[in-house]
Chains A and B, each alone.
Chain A
Amino acid sequence: MKLNLNNVSTVLVLTSLLLSGCSSTDEKKDEFVDTNAGIENLDNGVNTAGVGDNALSGSELNGENSQGDGQGYGSANGQYGSGRNGSNGGKPVIYFMYDSSQVQEEFVPVIAQHAENLKASASQHVIVEGHGDERGSREYNIALGEQRAKAVARMLTMQGVSDSQVEVVSYGEEKPAASGHDESAWQLNRRAELDFQGQ
């Protein structure tokens, strides 16, 4: 019964799609029109636009380029030891287990090495980026990502790195390293990345 009704509704949808496709004279491609009206560019990297009833949408202005992310996520990277140690566009990556912000043993020496480097170069600054997989709600994942980043930051400062050298930012699930929707992608996305500034 349900199947039949689904078929009926599919027919209805197709019909209405056909109707809207055939009989409208005003439906053309979705183009964004840039008149600069109502558009303000207040900061680098974002463009905003007015969208009042008669307002036009903004087209993309020249935003700040994001840093290029390289290939080879999660690939072995000899510089930081063996195993699952990886890098993302040159940024060292520390991976985490599902629903956990505990630094796994294999990454402890990796973080220790970075702590030594940071101590040796007091002017250097690192942003620890926390990331999560896509499961669950987005803002909650921002919070989980921050816990991961903080766990790494804490290991750095406990080993003598100055608080002022370390900053934590969580992107939650917003910047996945791998785009799939299964565990093989998720395990690459549960991570903290070390973004060294001014290198």
Chain B
Amino acid sequence: MRLYIRKILVLSFFVFTSSFVRAELSIEITGGTEGATPIAVVPFGGSSPLNLANVINDDLSHSGYFKTLPEQDMLSRPTTEANVNYRTWQALGQEYLVVGQVNQELGKYTVQFELFTVVKGQKMLAYRMNVATNDLRRTAHHIADIIFEKITGRNGVFGTKIAYVTTAGGKDQKSYRIQVADADGYNSKTVASSKEPLMSPAWSADGKKIAYVSFETKRSAIFIQTLATGQRQKISGFRGINGAPAFSPDGSQLAVTLSKDGDPNIYVVDINSQSLRRVTQGNVIDTEPVWSPDGANIVFTSDRGGKPQLYRVSSQGGPVKRITFKGTYNARASFSKDGRKIAMVHGNGGNYQIAVLDVSSGSIDVLTEGDSDESPSFASNGTMVLYAAKQGGREVLAAVSADGKVHQRLAFVGGEVRDPAWSP
């Protein structure tokens, strides 16, 4: 059955290959490219249905680490090392240069590219890969990842995905969707759609599943959906709140918020057995659980001290320890992969902004300047935080570098967009 579906999908893909390539989210850098490294990615030689250099240029410039050279400023367009004249690129102030070619052979493509340091006049790496037509865009992201990693020493996240919630239509005709797209906003696909609210998409650590909250029965319920097949499993549909799902790092458990026993508290569901373990107690609001990357602890939002703050508890339950002390509102934690930092919503004089907490020192850096920023989500390489913002009364997504310098906006073409989650 699975194979059969795959075949249909592959066949359909060739038929409709051009129909959903456009970006649903358009990315615009809104500030802070100081210190970005100049790099020239020359249009690739050969023939390809996709301009790979464009995709690579966009990825690198959106990262904030690179300033790419516009094509019209290029004095030559080499496609192999033999045609590279380093002095030309030095004169243009470039530090790095990428050239490549795409060749079609027997229904697939051969992509090769080379990366040079212009300053030293040396080749840094060269790759050759065989690619199916429908993988050209993914290959371009992969090339951007390779270049990013070689130069910065950090993993690239250009091949990752983002999940988010869109709404369209007026009050009477509202439609909610959970979407998944490439990190550059292209290739968007609908995971679920409903006339009732959908919220809180969360990725499994292997990137294959999404947990989310649906009000489709006019009551809340939590589902886990396998992205490849669309199959889903109802995890929780208790009386009261079923909210804020978060996969454990090993993928076997889901932390959730339930109010079935009174006030909202944190519980952990074993996904296979569906057995339930209560992690926090008390007649207070406890919600928005996230797992520490080692799975040992859960950080959550609680008003047990009066105003919402972040607290930590063992994922087995036990004593609760407050971890935020600065400001009257700290909520909605998102861990960096190394566990050292937590992005969160920080209330700041009536405004809500994205801040990063240094877990060991307790210090806070406020990264954004909006009045209604929420739902932060760390990129897996720790360089960026994706979040939801309001701009001119519209819900948009935005991203900020972890040092607060580079700001981007991702506007949704078809309506409002919110509740982003960056894939592992």
How far, in Å, is B263 (CB) from chain A's closest CB? 8
Residues of B within 8 A of A27 (CB): 18, 21-22
Would B232 and A48 count as touching, CB distance under 8 A? Answer: yes
Is the beta-carbon distance between A175 and B197 smaller than 8 angstroms?
Answer: yes
Is the C-beta of B156 less than 8 angstroms from some C-beta in chain A? no
| A9 close to B193 (CB less than 8 A) | no
Per-residue interface assignment for chain B, residues 274 to 305, with 1 indicating a CB less than 8 Å from any chain A CB and 0 otherwise: 00000000000101100000000000010000
Q: A138, B393: Cβ atoms under 8 Å?
A: no
How does the 8 Å CB contact mask read for A27-43 relative to B, with 1 for contact and 0 for none?
A: 11111110101111011
- Residues A66-93 near B (CB distance < 8 A): 66, 68-69
Question: Do the beta carbons of B230 and A39 come within 8 Å of each other?
Answer: yes
Q: Is there a chain B Cβ closer than 8 Å to A198's Cβ?
A: no
Would A51 and B189 be within 8 Å (CB), given that A30-B413, A32-B20, A137-B345 are in contact?
A: yes
A3 closest partner in B (C-beta): B31
> What residues of chain B lie closer than 8 Å to A181, measured between beta carbons?
372, 390, 393
A97 CA to B420 CA, complexed, in Å? 29
User: Would you call B91 an interface residue if the criterion is a C-beta within 8 Å of the partner chain's C-beta atoms?
Assistant: no
Determine the interface band of chain A, counting residues with CB < 8 A from chain B.
35 or more
Q: Is the CB of B240 within 8 A of A23?
A: no
- The reply to whether B244 and A139 form a contact with Cβ atoms under 8 Å apart is yes
B228 touches A52 (CB 8 A): yes
Contact with A along B406-424 (1 / 0, CB 8 A): 0000000110001100000
Query: Among B93-101, B113-121, B219-227, B396-404, which stretch is in contact with chain A?
Result: B219-227
Q: Are B6 and A54 in contact, CB atoms less than 8 angstroms apart?
A: yes
Most B CB contacts (10 A, CB to CB) among A6, A57, A181 go to A57
**A49 in contact with B230 given A16-B58, A143-B287 (CB within 8 Å):** yes
Segment touching B, from A102-110, A117-125, A163-171: A163-171
Known contacts A49-B192, A140-B301, A174-B199; decide if A29 and B29 are in contact (CB<8 Å). no
Q: Which residues of B contact A30 (CB under 8 A)?
A: 20, 22-24, 188, 413-414
From the candidates A5, A46, A54, A59, name the one contacting B216 in the complex (CB within 8 A). Answer: A46
CB contacts (< 8 Å) of B361 on chain A: these are: none
Q: Which residues of A contact B72 (CB under 8 A)?
A: 15
Known: A26-B21, A54-B134, A139-B332. A45 touches B196 (CB 8 A): yes
B208 to chain A, nearest CB (A): 9
A157 adjacent to chain B (CB < 8 Å): no
B241 interface contact, C-beta 8 A: yes
Contact indicator B372/A134 (Cβ below 8 Å): yes
**A140-B285 contact in complex given A46-B214, A63-B195, C-beta closer than 8 Å:** yes
Interface presence of B272 (CB below 8 A): no
- With A136-B345, A169-B218 given, is the CB distance from A15 to B70 under 8 Å? yes
Give, as a whole number of angstroms, the nearest-CB distance from B3 to chain A.
Answer: 12
Q: Are A46 and B192 neighbours in the complex by a CB distance under 8 Å?
A: yes
B331–A137 touching, CB < 8 Å:
yes
Instruction: Tell whether B86 is near chain A: CB-to-CB under 8 Å.
Output: no
- Surface stretch bound by A, among B48-56, B123-131, B144-152, B317-325: B48-56
Query: Is residue B190 within 8 Å, beta carbon to beta carbon, of the partner chain?
Result: yes
CB pair B193 A60 closer than 8 Å: yes
Q: Of residues A44, A46, A47, which shows the largest number of chain B Cβ atoms within 10 Å of its Cβ?
A: A46
Which of A55, A63, A134 contacts B228, CB < 8 Å?
A: A55
Q: With A37-B8, A138-B375 as given contacts, are A16 and B191 in contact (CB-CB < 8 Å)?
A: no
Instruction: Let me know if B287 and A139 touch, CB within 8 A.
Output: yes
Asked if A8 is at the interface of the complex by the 8 Å CB criterion, the answer is yes
A170 to B393, CA, bound (A): 24
- Give residues of chain B (174-213) contacting chain A, Cβ–Cβ below 8 Å: 174-175, 180, 188-200
A57 to chain B, nearest CB (A): 4
A137 with B374, Cβ < 8 A, contacts A5-B34, A48-B191, A52-B9 known: yes
Confirm or deny: A160 has a beta carbon within 8 angstroms of a beta carbon on chain B.
Answer: no
Taking CB atoms and an 8 Å cut-off, the chain B residues in 1-40 that contact chain A are 5-6, 8-10, 12-13, 16-24, 26, 28-34
CB neighbours (8 Å) of A68 from chain B are: 172
Alpha-carbon separation in the docked complex, A147 to B285 (Å) = 9
A174 — which chain B residues lie within 8 A by C-beta? 197, 199, 215
Q: B interface vs A, CB < 8 Å? A: 5-6, 8-10, 12-13, 16-24, 26, 28-34, 43, 49-51, 54, 57-58, 61, 67-68, 70-72, 134, 138, 171-172, 174-175, 180, 188-200, 214-220, 225-232, 239-241, 243-244, 257, 259, 264, 285, 287-288, 301, 308, 329, 331-332, 345, 347, 352, 372, 374-375, 390, 393, 413-414, 418-419
Some 13 contacts from A to B, beta carbons below 8 A apart, are A16-B57, A28-B19, A30-B413, A43-B216, A44-B217, A46-B192, A50-B231, A51-B228, A63-B194, A169-B218, A169-B220, A174-B215, A175-B197
* Additional 5 contacts, C-beta under 8 A, given A38-B229, A51-B191, A169-B215: A28-B18, A45-B216, A50-B9, A50-B228, A169-B220
